[in-house]
Amino acid sequence: MRNWFRTVRNQRKKKHNIPSQPKDITLEITDERIETELAHSKQVLQEIFRDCSDVVFREIMVNETTKGLLVFIDGIVNTDQIHENLMRPLLIHFSETFNESQPADLKERQISLAQVTSAKQYAQLVEGILTGSVALLVNGYDKALLFNVVGGTRRGVEEPATEATIRGPREGFTESLRTNTALLRYRLKSPRLKTIAYKIGEHTQTNVALAYIDGLADPRVIAEVRNRLERIKIDGILESSYIEELIEDDPFSIFPQVQNTERPDTVAAHLLEGRFAIFIDNTPFVLVGPVTAWLMLQASEDYYQDIYAGSFIRLLRLFFLGIALFMPALYVAVTTFHQDMIPTTLLLSIAAARESIPFPAIVEALIMEISFEALREAGVRLPKTVGQAVSILGALVIGQAAVQAGIVSAPMVIIVSVTGIASFTVPRYSFGIAIRLLRFPLMLLGATFGLYGIVIGTMCIVLHLAKLRSFGVPYLSGIAPFSWKAQKDLLIRSPWWRMITRPPLLYDRERKRMSTDLKPSPVKQEGETE
Amino acid sequence: MRRLACTILAASLLLAGCWDRKEINDIALVMGTSVDKEGNQYKVTVQIAMPSQLGGAGSQGGGGGTSGTKAWHSLTATAETIRKANEIEQQALSRILYFSHRRTLLIGEDLAREGILDIMDVFSRIPQNRLTANVAITQGKSVDIMESEAPIERFPSEAIREQLNQYMKRNRVLKDLITSILQEGIDPAIPFFKTTSKEPGSAEAKGKENIRVGGLAVFKKEKLVGFLEGDDAQGALWAMDEARIPTVSITAPGSKKKIAVQFHQTESKLKPVIQQDGTILMQIRIKAIGSVVDNESRFTPVNMGTLETLVGKKIEGNVKNSLSILQKKYKADIIGFGRNIYMDDPTYWRQISANWDEMYPKVKTEVQTDIQIEHSGALIAPFQREEGNR
């Protein structure tokens, strides 16, 4: 028996030891230089783009004798620009002035396009074509010119769907990285706003940009992010969550350690506080870090409303966060273990409502909570027209019919509804999901151990949160470790003229963010005493 | 090692659960208990709420709970101890008796006269029992009060509780009762209930009896010695600083008709004065603020001075009367003269505490009243003013 185990173990080890077949997922283009012979180059390119129906090869005569070749991918380039600024000058004017000895001249004089680069190798050339440039090869030259004419149809700048505000800018990020960085640049017109470009994904070649404000962001954090970004080797990045999962501090934590947002103003505000942002092409969601748990309870609108409303809403969110997490668990625990804790008249009402219910409280709670989650999922995933029908059906079936049929008690419906509303008050969706999920283990703990179980569960959550870090910043920082300075903008929002320093624990090279005398007050007359 | 630690931790966490789990549907909420003495045994009645009759949504009785059936059920058992009686009751019940929400406890006159300290043990020993339950004595058997009709409230016990809440400033709960039994220099006094004759007006309730607070049950230590009713009870309440919105009616000056004054703010302070000859004089200062609520006479209450004096005299008389009953007849110090002497001069109290029982009836009392009548309601002059002579 023992031998058998050993052999199995050895076999497993062997399996692991076998080096996996080097699966080269890079495009197999050598560093071969471009030939002077156009026909040959064309052949090479056609071989590379074999069966790519969207690649266009357009042969032109640059003058009487010299052949040229334009290569681009249809759809991702701006065809108007090609016609106006490339084809027309090439076909009409170029042939007259073409200087055979000076092909680079073309860059400077003939073509009225802003971004032109030259490529010497096929690899560069192919990359340029794939990212939306038009390649021009001319017979007799060992260089190709790449004209950046990225275009094609993309969604315009719209109001963000996930983070609507009543007051505040209505612009949201789009799927285009350039548009997104531009939206940020509109807001931060400073050369100290750095955007470091990366290309991640062997096949997707996704453009990723790491943005931060030089001097505000902690250089150690930036170095760490750069490290984490550079070590990503993956076939494709389709959404920011790929990156998020690959750079998180604690990959198994249920809590998000990177925030995502669709709002340029939010990103700008975070950068000003010394955080960094990661823009990813093809997704409107921009990652922001390092984050704390309190940041998850803040919305950009807190700063746009007046301080009382902003502070009240923040406290409200915190309160409802507690309700979203604990309410069903507490209800189950109190009604099955600690009936003595309920006021007598309330207990009588609950008892009257529960009288004909066939299930124990926990089963009832699970039925309701799970069907509520299903209802929400159905509402999100279905087309809008059908989604309405689902919510009506859900409201009728879950809300009314279940109670009238005596399957679920009315107090439980109230608890679940309040919990549902409460879970929507968390402004960060990813954090809200964590809360929604944690509700279930807490409910089970409450149902088996009563308040004792809830306390144990809460302790586990708090311990985990206290241990969690986001890019080295403690997740609960502000409260644990405690900082008086952070209280100005944590659970309440102080007026702007009070938030003189940036939040601590990020970087403090430039602590002050404004002058200290900004509190509005009447102008003092000459000679007037205080 | 780590695995072992995890296993132990998990086991200690997981094996602890569920043993005391009980659904609301499986408990019988005891709303009130009454205890009587029958020979050597206790006759214990528990009043249990019936949630199915409370008219919750989805329940059979649904819709307001005014279906005419009672929302409560009571069980009676007789046994040597109260817990034993409870056990007998439990055997006749499909749900577990749950005492945490008991808010009224009625003790029968017979039992109270024999002493209540013995049964106080069970009410404070078991954690489920609330020490904040209201306690009251009943004239006669407590079962009769407990099972009376309570047309307004859902349970008779609830009606009893609400009536008790209204009777005194600080309603007497189990904890207060036990404290006042055990404390030196004060005797317990708790409200008592009695049945009144037929409820007027209601055809349905004909032949049934209604209950009301009759006054104060006066104890000497743990034993009931008697009852104070009507003005006697009110006088005692005035002195105890427990009078809650009392109404005092007097004969109006210069008339044979009555005038009533209600006090919304009352206060009384006791000050013991040890006189030269060794006797104790207890000065009782009563301060009250009130208003005229009823005037049948032709007296115009413009200058309140006369009225205030008259009302003060009336209260003084009431209090004196109550005190003399307490001192001479019952010899029970429910107002806490002894307690006040102790607070005022602990060393003196230690000298006299041994023979306080003999001293108590001899304590002289002096009542001073400071009555303030703020206004005469919405009217100044009575309606009949024109007819009469000024």
Residue A192 lies in a domain: yes
Supply the range of the domain harboring residue A184. Answer: 177-291
pLDDT band at A51 (very low <50, low <70, confident <90, very high): confident
Cα angle: B154, vertex A361, A395; to 5 degrees: 90
The distance of Cα A120 from the centroid of its chain, to the nearest Å, equals: 36
Interface test with B, best of A334, A337, A339, A359 (most B CBs within 10 A): A339
Q: Say whether both A283 and A309 belong to one domain.
A: no
Residue in B13, B20, B52 nearest the CB of A456: B13
The pLDDT value given to residue A436: 92
Measured between beta carbons, the chain B residues lying within 8 angstroms of A447 are 21
Work out whether strand B41-49 and strand B72-79 pair parallel, antiparallel, or are unpaired: antiparallel
**Average predicted confidence (pLDDT) for chain A:** 84
Measured between beta carbons, the chain B residues lying within 8 angstroms of A404 are 57-58
Which residue shows structure tokens 């209800």? A331
Give B91→chain A minimum CA distance, Å.
Answer: 21
The pLDDT value given to residue A389: 80
The pLDDT value given to residue A11: 54
Q: What is the percent of chain A where pLDDT is above 70?
A: 88
pLDDT at A221 over 50: yes
Q: Say whether both A457 and A311 belong to one domain.
A: yes
Work out whether strand A286-289 and strand B27-38 pair parallel, antiparallel, or are unpaired: unpaired
Residue A280 lies in a domain: yes
Residue A187 lies in a domain: yes
Give dist(CA A377, CA A372) in Å, integer.
Answer: 9
Q: Say whether both A282 and A333 belong to one domain.
A: no
Residue in B21, B56, B57 nearest the CB of A337: B21
Interface test with A, best of B9, B18, B20, B23 (most A CBs within 10 A): B23
Q: Say whether both A316 and A425 belong to one domain.
A: yes
Q: Quick one: which H or E segment has residue A460? A: helix A451-467
pLDDT band at A320 (very low <50, low <70, confident <90, very high): very high
Residue A8 lies in a domain: no
Q: Say whether both A141 and A185 belong to one domain.
A: no
Give dist(CA A512, CA B280) in Å, integer.
Answer: 75
Q: Say whether both A287 and A349 belong to one domain.
A: no
SS3 string of A364-386?
Answer: HHHHHHHHHHHHHHHHHHCCHHH
Which is higher by pLDDT, B306 or A16?
A: B306
Average confidence (pLDDT) per 10 residues, chain B, 390 residues:
81 71 89 91 92 62 50 90 92 91 92 90 87 91 84 85 90 90 90 74 55 90 91 92 90 84 92 88 93 85 84 92 92 91 91 89 92 85 59
CB contact under 8 A, B18 and A448: yes
Give B157→chain A minimum CA distance, Å.
Answer: 12
Measured between beta carbons, the chain B residues lying within 8 angstroms of A443 are none
CB contact under 8 A, A405 and B58: yes
The closest of B195, B193, B237 to B213, measured between CA atoms, is B193
Give dist(CA B100, CA B94) in Å, integer.
Answer: 18
Angle subtended by helix axes A307-336 and A451-467, to nearest 10 = 140
CB contact under 8 A, A354 and B20: no
Going along chain B from its start, the domains and CATH numbers come out as 23-221 (no CATH), 231-390 (3.30.300.210)
Q: Say whether both A279 and A349 belong to one domain.
A: no
The pLDDT value given to residue A333: 94
pLDDT at A322 over 90: yes
Q: Say whether both A126 and A227 belong to one domain.
A: no
The pLDDT value given to residue A7: 53
Residue A237 lies in a domain: yes
Give A27→chain B minimum CA distance, Å.
Answer: 48
pLDDT band at A20 (very low <50, low <70, confident <90, very high): very low
Give the least confident one: A9-23, A86-100, A252-266, B93-107: A9-23
Q: How many domains does chain A fold into?
A: 3
Q: Say whether both A318 and A455 belong to one domain.
A: yes
pLDDT tens per residue, range A233-284: 999 999 999 999 999 999 899 999 999 999 999 999 999 988 999 999 999 9
Q: Does B12 touch chain A (CB under 8 A)?
A: no
Hey, what are B318's tokens? 């009431």
Residue A523 lies in a domain: no
Residue after which a domain boundary falls, among A424, A452, A474: A474
Residue after which a domain boundary falls, among A443, A458, A474: A474
Interface test with B, best of A355, A403, A460 (most B CBs within 10 A): A355
pLDDT band at A397 (very low <50, low <70, confident <90, very high): confident
Measured between beta carbons, the chain A residues lying within 8 angstroms of B29 are 344, 347-348, 351
Residue in B21, B54, B128 nearest the CB of A352: B54
Measured between beta carbons, the chain A residues lying within 8 angstroms of B16 are 449, 452
Residue A282 lies in a domain: yes
The pLDDT value given to residue A24: 38
Which residue shows structure tokens 């809440």? B165
Contact B114, B37 (CB under 8 A): yes
Measured between beta carbons, the chain B residues lying within 8 angstroms of A351 are 24-25, 29, 49, 51, 54, 56
The pLDDT value given to residue B3: 85
Contact A336, B25 (CB under 8 A): no
Q: What is the percent of chain A where pLDDT is above 90?
A: 35
CB contact under 8 A, B98 and A339: yes
Residue A19 lies in a domain: no
Query: What is the number of other CB atoms lying within 10 angstroms of the CB of residue A356?
Result: 20
Contact A59, A67 (CB under 8 A): yes
Residues in chain A: 530
Query: Looking at residues A130-153, what average pLDDT do you find?
Result: 83
